[in-house]
């Protein structure tokens, strides 16, 4: 293939350690290990896509096998070994894609092949890309060879998902974590490539490419390739043109959008969004960019504009700084959560554009509903609470119980709520008539049934053992299945039903067996007695496998 016809990501692929950008520490470490002949059995490169994992693997392979030595590593005029390794056709350097060869049989073939020494090079090298795709059995088959390979054999692994690789494999490799490429370094690199290709793209458009690529050199070169092909030789690609090509839009739209949201101007909010949508921006990209602006508004005080930050320009920075002074962090975090939730809803709705418009309208209403309780509006807040009968019923103030009333047998006592005279909830007239007093534990269970408090009824019958029941005081023991909110809920209901505060105390005594347990025992005894009867004996004679599991009395026998 003619070098000029290659895509930029292949055409400008690094050939030596000196060509690498952003991975200087990794390059220097490996260079020194080769120079001083302190080689690892296996190298493992991990990092995001497009930061140079496979590229460095090939450079390492060339460094080990270059006929000129590592100090004169081939660049312009490659030796035969380096040339074949670059073209992926060297007989002693096997490149394998673990995504397509995941099984244990593939690894067995590899191990079998490793028994024979190199043919024309110094080292036989296996480069396995996306190594995390290997099966568990394949990894296990590789362990012994990986730990004690022949002197002529080296492994080089590359992966984007390091967590999927077993620890037993990781411990046998020399691991290198490749970082994202610094924005400034990546900008200088693609600008140099642009100049070599005689491309007409301004710096602002290049900065957008850097932002979209997220530290990946391959992504940046692919985007640059696309940008170079999109314009004729006479015109220069600017930021607006690049935004149209890559489906991104100016942040000033989002900044204005947030302003209109907090002004409550629904018409302008919809107009701004539609202008964004008409540029061909996908709803998911819009929401992700919206989240980015929310992040900047929340954390603008800790963000600095320097050579490494291409996300904001000076004007946008000032605008966001002004907005952040007017909006509380509480609302911003609420907006963040709501936006994340909307991202999940996009896969459900058929018309995502309409969903986005409703999302923005809901944000305006969400902003209006949110009340920030500060020292200035505290009295107004308290007044609203006290005047709301629904909330008023739920306000309960803890009151210390007189220590003389605590029984010596009690382990600990739940201090139940008490209400001041001004906050005492009104009890409906019908409730007063119905609940003059709760006579005993059975009466309490019946009352729960009548009031449809089935959860409380279940807890009382199943998980509670009664120790004592007196007026306004219940002493119980319980099993490990008792709901953690049982005491709180029972206290609230007792106060609501009787208009008085009740004490629920825990006792050391075991107490009576639970009602459910008692019923089960009675049922068991009844079945046992019935088994002694003539009817059961006659049935068993005819049906030896028969088992009595339930006995029901006729209505006239009850």
| Helices vs. strands in the chain: H and E counts, helices first | 25, 11
- Global confidence as pTM: 0.57
- Measured CA to CA in angstroms, residue 24 lies from 17, 42, 138, 198 at distances of 8, 20, 33, 28
Give the start-to-end residue ranges of the domains of the chain: 3-177, 183-246, 251-369, 397-509, 516-557
Tell me the CATH number of domain 251-369, given options 2.160.10.10, 1.10.10.920, 1.20.272.10, 1.10.1740.10: 1.20.272.10
306/313 Cα distance (integer angstroms)? 10
Lowest mean pLDDT among 67-76, 223-232, 287-296, 419-428: 419-428
Task: Note whether 181 and 148 are within 8 A (CB).
Answer: no
444/463 Cα distance (integer angstroms)? 15
Per DSSP, which regions of 135-278 are E strands? 153-159, 174-177
Q: In the CATH hierarchy, which fold is given to the domain comprising 3-177?
A: Rossmann fold (3.40.50)
Report the pLDDT value the prediction gives residue 381, as an integer from 0 to 100.
42
235/242 Cα distance (integer angstroms)? 13
Tell me if the domain spanning 183-246 has CATH number 3.30.70.270.
no
pLDDT digits (tens, 9 = 90+) for 217-230: 999 999 999 888 87
Report the pLDDT value the prediction gives residue 56, as an integer from 0 to 100.
92
367 pLDDT above the threshold of 80? no
Report the pLDDT value the prediction gives residue 313, as an integer from 0 to 100.
64
228/245 Cα distance (integer angstroms)? 11
- Measured CA to CA in angstroms, residue 198 lies from 186, 193, 229 at distances of 18, 9, 12
170/510 Cα distance (integer angstroms)? 55
pLDDT digits (tens, 9 = 90+) for 511-556: 777 777 777 777 777 777 777 777 777 777 777 777 767 766 665 5
Q: In sequence order, which residues have a C-beta less than 8 Å from that of residue 218 and are 6 or more positions away? A: 9, 49, 50
Mean pLDDT along residues 230-254: 78
Task: Note whether 248 and 281 are within 8 A (CB).
Answer: yes
438 pLDDT above the threshold of 70? yes
Mean pLDDT along residues 189-193: 91
What DSSP element (H or E) covers 160? none
Alpha helices in 5-52 (DSSP H): 8-11, 24-35
């Amino acid at each position: 293939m003619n070098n000029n016809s290659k895509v930029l990501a292949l055409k400008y692929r690094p050939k030596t350690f000196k060509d690498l950008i952003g991975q200087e520490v990794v390059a220097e470490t490996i260079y020194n290990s080769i120079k001083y002949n302190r080689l690892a059995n296996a190298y493992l490169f991990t990092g995001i896509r497009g930061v140079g994992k496979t590229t460095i693997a090939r450079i390492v392979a060339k460094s080990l096998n270059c006929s000129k030595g590592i100090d004169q590593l081939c660049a312009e005029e490659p030796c035969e070994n380096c040339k074949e390794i670059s073209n992926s056709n060297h007989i002693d350097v096997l490149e394998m894609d673990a995504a397509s060869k995941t099984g244990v049989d593939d690894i067995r073939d590899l191990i079998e092949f490793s028994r024979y020494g190199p043919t024309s090079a110094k080292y036989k090298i296996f480069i396995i890309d996306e190594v995390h795709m290997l099966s568990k059995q394949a990894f296990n088959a590789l362990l012994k060879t990986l730990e004690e390979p022949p002197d002529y054999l080296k492994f080089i692994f590359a992966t984007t998902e390091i967590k999927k690789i077993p620890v037993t494999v990781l411990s046998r490799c020399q691991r290198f974590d490749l970082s994202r490429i610094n924005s400034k370094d990546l900008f200088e690199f693609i600008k140099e490539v642009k100049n070599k290709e005689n491309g007409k793209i301004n710096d602002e458009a290049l900065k957008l490419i850097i932002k979209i690529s997220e530290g990946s050199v391959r992504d940046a070169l692919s985007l640059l390739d696309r940008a170079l092909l999109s314009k004729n030789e006479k015109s220069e690609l600017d930021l607006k043109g690049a935004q149209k090509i890559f489906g991104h839009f100016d942040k000033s739209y989002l900044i204005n959008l947030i302003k209109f949201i907090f002004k409550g101007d629904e018409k302008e909010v919809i107009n701004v969004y539609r202008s964004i949508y008409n540029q061909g921006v996908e709803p998911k990209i819009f929401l992700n960019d919206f989240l980015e602006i929310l992040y900047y508004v929340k954390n603008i005080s800790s963000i600095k504009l320097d050579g490494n930050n291409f996300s904001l320009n000076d004007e946008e920075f000032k605008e966001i700084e002004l907005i952040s002074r007017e909006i509380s962090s509480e609302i911003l975090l609420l907006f963040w959560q709501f936006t994340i939730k909307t991202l999940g809803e996009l896969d459900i709705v058929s018309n995502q554009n309409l969903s986005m418009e409703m999302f923005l309208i809901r944000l305006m209403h969400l902003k209006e509903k949110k009340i920030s309780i500060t020292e200035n509006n505290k009295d107004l807040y308290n007044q609203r609470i006290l005047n709301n009968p629904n909330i008023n019923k739920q306000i309960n103030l803890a009151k210390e119980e007189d220590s003389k009333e605590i029984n010596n047998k009690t382990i600990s006592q739940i201090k139940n709520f008490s209400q001041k005279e001004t906050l005492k909830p009104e009890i409906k007239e019908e409730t007063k008539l119905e609940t003059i007093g709760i006579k005993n534990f059975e009466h309490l269970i019946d009352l729960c049934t009548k009031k449809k408090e089935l959860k409380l009824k279940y807890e009382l019958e199943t998980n509670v053992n009664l120790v004592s029941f007196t007026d306004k005081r219940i002493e119980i023991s319980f099993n490990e299945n008792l709901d953690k909110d049982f005491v709180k809920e029972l206290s609230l209901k007792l106060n609501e039903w009787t208009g008085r505060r009740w004490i629920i105390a825990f006792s050391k005594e075991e107490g009576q067996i639970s009602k459910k347990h008692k019923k089960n025992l009675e049922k068991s005894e009844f079945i046992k007695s019935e088994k002694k009867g003539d009817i059961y004996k006659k049935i068993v004679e005819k049906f030896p496998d028969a088992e009595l599991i339930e006995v029901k009395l006729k209505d006239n026998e009850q």
